[in-house]
Amino acid sequence: MSNEAVYIPVGALADGFAEDSDVLPRVPPQKTALKLYFPDGGQQSCRFTGNAELEWNNQPAVPCRITAIREGIEFIDFVDPQRRSSSLTLICDHQRGGFTLVYGQLPSEQQTRLAAFSRIEQGLPLTGVRAEVRSGRLDGPCHADVPLHARSHDLNGMRNQYRYSPHECYEHIYLNSGCYAWHCLQGVEKGLADVDLCQTIKIADELFLFIWQEKVVPTLGVVLIDLAQRRSDGKIFGYRQHGFQEITNFAMGARITVLNITRHAG
């Protein structure tokens, strides 16, 4: 019998993370209604109900998860009611008046089954998972003299260990601003490792929004990394099984150990 590690569907990953998971507790929304102002002049409104639900873009209310890794910083996450196999994550910085919105889209079965070399030939990214990131203001229209959340290189060179539960542990190596390596040290994916696409957005001092898109099993991760408190909180989104019918969007959080930092010359 082979002991080689195997890739599992995201639903099996969710089951592995569920027991004793170190996620932040849910909190009520800081404001009943929000208005998002984008740099191109566009606007988006949303409203929270009393049952941990959110009315988005005048659509019926959907369940949402709200946490606060720091005072005044909200992580709001929900499945997109308007698009199939999509999710939305909204990071609200009420102290500075800024926000970042992540639109996540899982690939179709046809897109997923497109071979890596075929994707290269067609000039496509190696993963079919899409993540569109938009930042703006909560307190009024965007102005050139008011900075928005922006891409960051601050994680580059870090090697961190993430302890999600007593039986789930990973290490991340942030190679550059577009790629990172993950390696499961303990848990349902033990022995698996890969390098995937990523984005890092600086929210505040030592607080980063990290987004990754996996290419083998289509998976989107969106997480806040707080290096000051040495903890993270976020979500993982993907198809529950390999049949592409049902999605899972599960919460996860971890205690962080910074193992080392490598700074390359030049």
Main-chain dihedrals φ then ψ at residue 140, nearest 5 degrees: 140, 175
Q: What percent of the chain has pLDDT over 70?
A: 98
266 pLDDT more than 70: no
pLDDT tens for 193-220 read 999 999 999 999 999 999 999 999 999 9
Residue 95 is encoded by which pair of tokens?
């102290």
pLDDT tens for 50-85 read 878 999 988 889 999 999 999 999 999 999 988 899
Residue 41 is encoded by which pair of tokens?
């002049």
Buried b / exposed e across 133-147, counting CB within 10 Å, b at 16+?
Answer: bbbbbbeeebeeeee
pLDDT tens for 145-201 read 889 999 999 999 999 999 999 999 999 999 999 999 999 999 999 999 999 999 999
1 pLDDT more than 70: no
Give me the count of residues in the chain: 266
pLDDT tens for 96-144 read 999 999 999 999 999 999 999 999 999 999 999 999 999 999 989 998 8
Output the pTM of the full model: 0.96
Question: Can you name the CATH fold of 10-261?
Answer: Lipocalin (2.40.128)
Buried b / exposed e across 28-41, counting CB within 10 Å, b at 16+?
Answer: ebbeeebebbbeee
Residue 1 is encoded by which pair of tokens?
């019998």
Q: What percent of the chain has pLDDT over 90?
A: 89
